[in-house]
Amino acid sequence: MPRLDDILDRLHVVALPMRVKFRGITVRELALIDGPAGWGEFGAFPEYEPPEAAHWLASALESAYHQPPEPIRDRIPINATVPAVDAGRVPEVLARFPGAETAKVKVAEPGQALADDVARVEAVRAVIPTVRVDANGGWSIEQAVQAAKALGPLEYLEQPCATVAELAELRRRIDTPVAADESIRKAEDPLAVAKAGAADIAVLKVAPLGGISQLLAIAAQIGIPVVISSAIDSAVGISTGLHAAAALPDLQHACGLGTGSLFTDDVAETPPQTDGYLPVQPITPDPARLHALAAPPARRQWWIDRITACHRLLAV
């Protein structure tokens, strides 16, 4: 475990402006660590208490202080990501994902109706035929059954309901494959969803699971296909996710690692997508961007206090 003072000496806290509201936010704050092995990203969402956020810090420290595993592939297929925007804005969003052959569409947004989801999905499907949707656990079983019928052919429904029991019941009632996200990354036992027969696909995110090594260990045991996704990461976190996807023995689905397009500015110039793929390569933030995007002093101190609390838990 690196010393706290060494971590804080290497710390940059940034605030990245977003093009549209995503997960209820328009500015994404992140703490970046310039480590001896590379850059690490600590971006646990503000509402996460230290016991959960500590996993995200462990991931950042792994990336900053240890080399990534050897890659099996040098590029990763990427899905387009469509926030819960009006259907009329879909072409504008999809234009930021050139060559993507799969799109993930946010649904079940508070304040919106199923009709809004249907209109958004149909607008996406007019451009990209392979569509998956993400409800972030926002539906009841009955609502998910209704949505599966209304939304038409889908690659899968991601976290349609909140609990493992609900996912298992839903999976018995619909033909559309079910993917689990929160039921894995927020669970005490990330393998419980597979043991319960509650999902066809596992959506894994590096930071919430504690780093690439932990993610690969889970992927090796979970027994269902894996999709690597981001947690609204900066270019640093996206690079970490790409390295994780590159090390998977088997990668059957496009990954949700194209979310850098959600930002109007980022800490590094990321390579463009080519034919729906992103290359696997390390990312070094631009010092000028780190300065321009630096969070205010009070917010930097908030992240320092948070890192201190999480480090105390990891050091036990």
- 189 appears as a binding residue in the annotation: no
Contact criterion met (CB below 8 Å) for 25 and 47: no
Q: Is 195 a catalytic residue?
A: no
The identity of residue 100, as a single letter, is A
- 200 appears as a binding residue in the annotation: no
* C-beta atoms surrounding 110 within 10 Å: 7
- 34 appears as a binding residue in the annotation: no
Catalytic, out of 104, 149, 195, 205: 205
Kindly calculate the radius of gyration of the chain based on its CA atoms and give it in whole angstroms. 19
Q: Is 104 a catalytic residue?
A: no
Catalytic, out of 21, 106, 149, 186: 106
Q: Taking Cα atoms as reference points, which of 67, 44, 46, 49 lies closest to residue 205?
A: 44
Annotated binding site for Mg(2+): 134, 158, 181
Annotated binding site: 134, 158, 181
Residues marked active site are found at: 106, 205
